[in-house]
Amino acid sequence: MNDDQRAALRQASVPDADIDALTALDAVALDCLIEHLERAQDWQARELRAAMDGMLDAMPRLLRGPVKKLFER
């Protein structure tokens, strides 16, 4: 496992103990796993944004700005 792969797994919030266990995978399988994790995180971010937009649409306009600031990262 190279440093880029290890960094990608850490960015995907994979615990160090699990990263150590994943060293048994070959390079192709590890790259595939990392790609799937990144796609899952992208999908999750899109779904959270859509849910946030739906929630904001249900709120009175005066509350939207302050609530949006509270939940944005």
Number of other residues whose CB lies within 10 A of the CB of residue 2: 9
Q: What is the pTM of this model?
A: 0.70
Specify the pLDDT at position 73.
58
Q: What's the average model confidence in pLDDT over 47-53?
A: 91
* pLDDT tier, 39 (very low <50, low <70, confident <90, very high otherwise): very high
What residue ranges do the domains of the chain occupy?
3-71
Per-residue pLDDT tens for 22-31?
A: 988 998 999 9
* pLDDT tier, 71 (very low <50, low <70, confident <90, very high otherwise): confident
With pLDDT > 70 as the criterion, what percentage of the chain qualifies?
Answer: 99
